[in-house]
Each structure stands twice: as C-alpha cells, then as structure tokens.
Structure 1
C-alpha cells in the first residue's frame, strides 16, 4: 500500500492582502515585518528573522510609512549607542487591525474553506 499525503490533512491557511488603490498594499509579509520590528526593536533584526535583507526591510518600512497618514515605524540611526526602531501608535493600531481582520476572515470563511478542502484530490507521497 502506498502512503498518501492527502491534501486534506494539511491545515489550510487564509492569507489576506489589502490593496489601497494602485500603490499601497498591506499583506501578511508587511504585517509580519511590523510584528518583528515591535518584538526586536530593530529593522535589521526583523528583516534577518524573515531571511530578508536590511535594504528590503527598510524599503518595505518606507513604503508603509509613506502610504499611511502617520508613520507606522519610527527609527533612529545607528552610531556609538546603536540605532533602533519601534512601532508608532499608528503602527500598533494598523498591525492590530490587520491581525483582527485575519481572525474575522478565518472564522467567517472556515465553512467554505472546509468545503473547498474536501474537494481536493489526494496526492501520493513522494518516495
């Protein structure tokens, strides 16, 4: 008997990406970056924890800061005492609202996701 890796046994996940017009977007990657900046106090450390270059992390922070009326991340330059970054009040509010939206959408869509998952084909496991 060949073991099967049924697609139905893997827990499905819902990923939300919010597009605010053509330029501004907020999705799981940016939300994770905000969360890690909050937790580490550093854009560089947050980026490293996501296998992301400092340049990429900084660019994403700049995009978010430019998109919202108030900046989401406040940073200080490095030097003898070192730099750092923190979420602003607006940043904490945006992150909290995004995470709450994820919860609401997961709850609201659970039944439909279950139906879709039950329709998946079984995929044989690779040897």
Structure 2
C-alpha cells in the first residue's frame, strides 16, 4: 500500500507541474531543492514529507488534498474514469489553455471560469 500511495502522489505532482508548464528545475528552485529530488518524488523513489507536500502545494497553488484525490475506496472505478481524463490532459490544446488561464491575473481568471461554467450550464447559485 505504501508504494501505491507514493506512486499516486508522484503522478499527481507530475501532472500539476506539467499543467502549469513548469520544469522539474523550476519547481525545485521554488522549493529550494535540486531537480533530482523532484524527479525522485515523481517516480516514487523518495517519499514526500508532510512539510514538503505542504510546500509543493503552496508553489503549485493547490490544497494538499489535491495530491490524494483519486486514491482510496472505489479506486478501481476512478482509475478507469481517470484514464479517460488523462487523455484530455495529454493534449497540447489543454495544456496551452491551462497555461493561458494561469497567466491571467486573478480577476480575469475568475471571470473566465464563470464564463466557462455558464457555457456548460454549470452555474453555482
């Protein structure tokens, strides 16, 4: 079980880093470690401490819980659903859209998100 969760955490770290268009070196510099350490986290050769996970979450602008999403009960169903989602995230178009989104300042970013939700009929009350 320990290896499974380390691998899951590493995959989530890699996914978020890539979505933001960061290299391992850039992420490492922001955390004050060498890129090899990020590489080891991503391939689950080294475990992330709670403090390091907190730091990575801050740099990657996600809650710590992001790293655990998709792990736990009913994992098999989520794995299948996750494979379909992963296909979307491997497209260059998706990565370009996410990079453009995060290059915006906070206010336009919120407005764009609201627009996207309204186009999908997913407006929060």
TM-score strictly above 0.5:
no
Query: Structure 1 or 2: larger helix share?
Result: 2
Larger RCO: Structure 1 or Structure 2 (Cα < 8 Å, ≥ 6 residues apart)? 1
Q: TM-score range by the shorter chain?
A: under 0.3
Q: Per residue, is there more strand in 1 or in 2?
A: 1
Q: Could you state the TM-score of these two structures normalised by the residue count of structure 1?
A: 0.27
Compute the TM-score of the two structures, normalised by the length of structure 2: 0.27
The structure number with the bigger radius of gyration is 1
